[in-house]
Amino acid sequence: MHKYATTLSRPFLKWPGGKMRLIQELLAHLPDRTLLAEPFVGAGALFANTQHKHVFINDINTDLINIYQQLKKEKLRFIKAAESFFSGKYHNATAYYDLRAEFNESTHPFKRACLFLYLNRHGYNGLCRYNSSGSYNVPFGDYKAPYFPHQELLFFIERLKNASLSNLSYADFMRKLAEKEKLKDIVFYCDPPYAPLSKTANFTGYAASKFELEDQKQLALLGRTLYKQGAAVMISNHDLPFTRTLYKPAYIKSILVKRVISCKTDLRQEVKELLAIYT
């Protein structure tokens, strides 16, 4: 089974921890199975650039899964509606905060999806963040000309044809999939919120729930359990003594990644990440 897409595409969303910068490493080390499952799909860089028989994608962020659902269902209608918010009259702080308030008040899935793409591309630094009451609260980004990802959306329409979508906790998603599919056919790629490099570097605001160290341990345990039952599992995280111990006895591939490590966009450094591979 040829698991790589012939042409690579970037995701249509900006996303904290997006994996496009690592896509070649991910594709090179992804265990070869016919079905791909992503419990933390995020912007979808991996599933979009593979050619599995079927993909199962999940995220705890309801707005994220909703935009995939609307794109899969409405296709060009969604693209046309979303693009209407990328005209000049909406490219200012007043319009942004008005539309952000409209988004937070709306319960209409199609409208929320269109506004979510607008907020994602016009908000500060590609963040996705909610306050304690569940309201989206990313400030205006003040970019010169926010990019509308027309070609990327078309690409994802094709990739979503063979995708099943769910909005569950990672554990419920993995367990339910294990009950209905043959584990020997599945590779799980898990890209959780990373273990913090320091006590002040633990951004997990893209969903209302937190992902603590105990959650890291439970994910590792579930991954090992499903591996012992026949699945292949690959997990991304920071390369730390804690994570290396956590993922034993997986094969560990260490990767150096240059990225922003704080809200100061000029502060970049090389950070060690790892892939823990059970196969």
The CATH code of the domain that includes 202 is 3.40.50.150
98 annotated to bind ligand: no
Asked if residue 15 belongs to a domain, the reply is no
67 pLDDT exceeds 70?
A: yes
Asked if residue 2 belongs to a domain, the reply is no
98 in the same domain as 221:
no
Q: Which of 151, 171, 190 is the last residue of a domain?
A: 151
191 annotated to bind ligand: yes
Q: Tell me the pLDDT of the chain averaged across its residues.
A: 92
**DSSP state at residue 123:** B
179 in the same domain as 51:
yes
> What pLDDT was estimated at residue 1?
46
Say which residues have a Cβ less than 8 Å from residue 119's Cβ, sequence separation at least 6.
Answer: 96, 99, 100, 103, 136, 138
129 in the same domain as 38:
no
Q: How confident is the model at residue 2 (pLDDT cuts 50, 70, 90)?
A: very low
**Between 263 and 178, whose confidence is greater?**
178
- Is the backbone of residue 137 left (phi > 0), alpha (psi -120 to 50) or beta? alpha
Per-residue pLDDT tens digits for 72-93:
999 999 999 999 999 999 999 9
Per-residue pLDDT tens digits for 135-176:
999 999 999 999 999 999 999 999 999 999 999 999 999 999
Contact 19, 45 (CB under 8 A): yes
59 annotated to bind ligand: yes
19 annotated to bind ligand: yes
Q: Which domain holds residue 25?
A: 20-62+163-278
199 pLDDT exceeds 70?
A: no
